[in-house]
């Protein structure tokens, strides 16, 4: 086996896939395109990702996981759960906004990909609401949030209620004047709704 | 002036425009298409709508106004403001869902049209949040909602927080199982957020 193939990890393939997508748009990123970019045979790529669909789903998941990874640090901190909830929702808005604003073409590409793969977005929302649920549970324990029989359900309500500030469908509105004030108003409404 | 022209009201033109759109999709509904459907000269239509853009904007506004019209009845009722707020948001969700579900092609056509005209959607949101603000003001007066210095801003926060249940961008999710439970959870969160 050639040295190139030996070091061909899934992560290296996904990096190359993102690069192919960045350069050539959502129509590209087939197994063959990626193998060519890496200078390996397509058989080597197939050993990691058995279909074009699997490759595209994996690169989409990786992109979405970057956001959940950033946010998980906020969940893990100690300190006032209400402040943590505000930080977390603010960080989610900031992360999505950065993704949409810093590299609009790659963002548009990933919008096409998330539309293709049914499961990646669903799992991403499950990850995010699970993080939110942990903050809400901490708030219920400390008494700063009202008791809930179902923290996951409450978390989903908070996630839905703040959708305008993280759902990519609204990306075009994120640079409009007044969006920060709108976000602050929804955040206040939601936090008041969680209090006992 | 021929009798046909004498009775050619803006409303009749808009009815015919919607019919043309229903049959032929968003690319149609030019002044000429509509004149042909009505059996009148395009000059007669131009007397009411000076450009294709004006005609398309007017028919979009009429379609959006139908929803605001339905909801205004709820604002005008007496009775508990919290119940009125729940009724109003429930009726908004139901109206949008009906529009999307009963005639998906016409709905898709209007989605194209709302994307074209900058002002119609903005005015629609202003109408709706003004209705919400009146209910919130009634709640502040009766003491069931917390005092607010800016009922319009609070209304916009309530409108944003419930977006998943009225914004056409989510239309595909409105027939999914669990959507009613998700709506109820957001509604409870929002109502709790408004209480003193």
CA B25 to chain A, closest CA, distance in angstroms equals 24
pLDDT tens for chain B, 196 residues long, are 344 545 899 999 999 999 999 998 888 888 999 999 999 999 999 999 999 999 999 999 999 999 999 999 999 888 899 999 999 999 999 999 999 999 898 999 999 998 887 789 999 999 999 999 999 999 999 999 998 889 999 999 999 999 999 999 999 999 999 999 999 999 999 999 999 9
In a domain? residue A54: no
pLDDT of residue A6: 55
Q: Are residues B137 and B159 in the same domain?
A: yes
Q: How far apart are CA A174 and CA B90, in angstroms?
A: 27
In a domain? residue A38: yes
Q: Are residues B117 and B149 in the same domain?
A: yes
Query: What is the residue whose two structure tokens read 């690319």?
Result: B27
Count of residues in chain A: 196
Q: Are residues A72 and A143 in the same domain?
A: yes
Q: Are residues B68 and B138 in the same domain?
A: yes
Quick count: other Cβ atoms within 10 Å of Cβ B109? 23
pLDDT in tens, B110-163: 999 988 877 899 999 999 999 999 999 999 999 999 988 899 999 999 999 999
In a domain? residue A69: yes
pLDDT in tens, A26-81: 888 889 999 999 999 999 999 999 999 999 999 999 999 999 999 999 998 888 99
Closest residue in B to A191 (Cα) is B193
Q: Are residues B39 and B117 in the same domain?
A: no
Comparing CA positions, the residue from A149, A114, A120, A117 lying closest to residue A133 is: A149
Q: Choosing among B185, B187, B195, which should be mutated to test the A contact, i.e. which has the most A CBs within 10 A?
A: B185
Comparing CA positions, the residue from A87, A79, A4, A99 lying closest to residue A45 is: A4
In a domain? residue A55: no
Contact B85/A at CB under 8 A: no
Query: What is the residue whose two structure tokens read 């929302």?
Result: A125
Q: Are residues A26 and A98 in the same domain?
A: no
CA B109 to chain A, closest CA, distance in angstroms equals 19
**CATH number of the domain residue B42 falls in:** 1.10.10
pLDDT tier, A160 (very low <50, low <70, confident <90, very high otherwise):
very high
Q: Are residues B138 and B183 in the same domain?
A: yes
Q: Are residues B22 and B69 in the same domain?
A: no
In a domain? residue B56: no
Query: What is the residue whose two structure tokens read 């009922």?
Result: B151
Q: Are residues A37 and A73 in the same domain?
A: no
- Which structure tokens are listed for A93? 């808005």
Q: Give me the half-sphere count of Cα atoms (radius 13 Å) on the Cβ side of residue B69.
A: 6
The DSSP 8-state label assigned to residue B144 in this structure reads S
Q: Choosing among A111, A192, A194, A196, which should be mutated to test the B contact, i.e. which has the most B CBs within 10 A?
A: A192
**Chain B residues inside the 8 Å CB shell of A177:** none
**The domain containing residue B111 runs over which residues?**
61-194
pLDDT of residue A49: 94
Contact A154/B at CB under 8 A: yes
Q: Are residues A102 and A140 in the same domain?
A: yes
Task: Give B192's contacts (C-beta < 8 A, 6+ positions apart).
Answer: A146, A192, A193, A194, A195
Contact B157/A at CB under 8 A: yes
DSSP per-residue letters across chain A = --HHHHT--HHHHHHHHHHHHHHH-TT---HHHHHHHHTS-HHHHHHH-SSHHHHHHHHHHHHHHHHHHHHHHHHH--S-HHHHHHHHHHHHHHHHHHHHHH-HHHHHHHHHHHHH-HHHHHHHHHHHHHHHHHHHHHHHHHTSS---S-HHHHHHHHHHHTGGGT-GGGGGGTTSTTHHHHHHHHHHHHHHHH--
What string of H, E and C letters represents the secondary structure of A39-73?
A: CCCHHHHHHHCCCHHHHHHHHHHHHHHHHHHHHHH
- Which structure tokens are listed for A139? 């708030």
Q: How far apart are CA B24 and CA B28, in angstroms?
A: 6
**CATH number of the domain residue A87 falls in:** 1.10.357.10
**Chain B residues inside the 8 Å CB shell of A185:** 153-154, 156-157, 160
Comparing CA positions, the residue from A57, A9, A70, A67 lying closest to residue A29 is: A57
Contact A176/B at CB under 8 A: no
Number of domains in chain A: 2
**Chain A residues inside the 8 Å CB shell of B182:** 156-157, 160
B24 touches B33 (CB < 8 A):
yes
In a domain? residue B55: no
Mean pLDDT of A168-194: 96
Q: Are residues A84 and A142 in the same domain?
A: yes
Q: Are residues A110 and A28 in the same domain?
A: no
């Amino acid at each position: 086996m050639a040295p190139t193939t030996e070091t061909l990890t899934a992560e290296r393939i996904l990096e190359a896939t993102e690069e192919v997508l960045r350069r050539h748009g959502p129509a590209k990123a087939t197994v063959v395109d990626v193998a060519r970019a890496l200078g390996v045979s397509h058989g080597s790529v197939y050993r990691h990702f058995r279909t074009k669909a699997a490759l595209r789903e994996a690169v989409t998941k990786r992109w979405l996981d970057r956001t959940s990874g950033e946010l998980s640090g906020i969940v893990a901190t100690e300190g006032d759960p209400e402040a943590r909830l505000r930080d977390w929702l603010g960080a989610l808005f900031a992360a999505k906004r950065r993704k949409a604003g810093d590299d609009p073409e790659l963002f548009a590409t990933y919008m096409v990909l998330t539309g293709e793969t049914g499961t990646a977005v669903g799992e991403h929302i499950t990850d995010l609401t699970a993080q939110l649920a942990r903050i809400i549970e901490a708030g219920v324990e400390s008494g700063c949030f009202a008791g809930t029989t179902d923290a996951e359900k409450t978390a989903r309500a908070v996630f839905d209620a703040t959708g305008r500030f993280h759902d990519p469908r609204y990306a075009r509105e994120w640079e409009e004047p007044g969006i920060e004030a709108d976000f602050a108003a929804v955040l206040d409404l939601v936090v008041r709704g969680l209090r006992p």
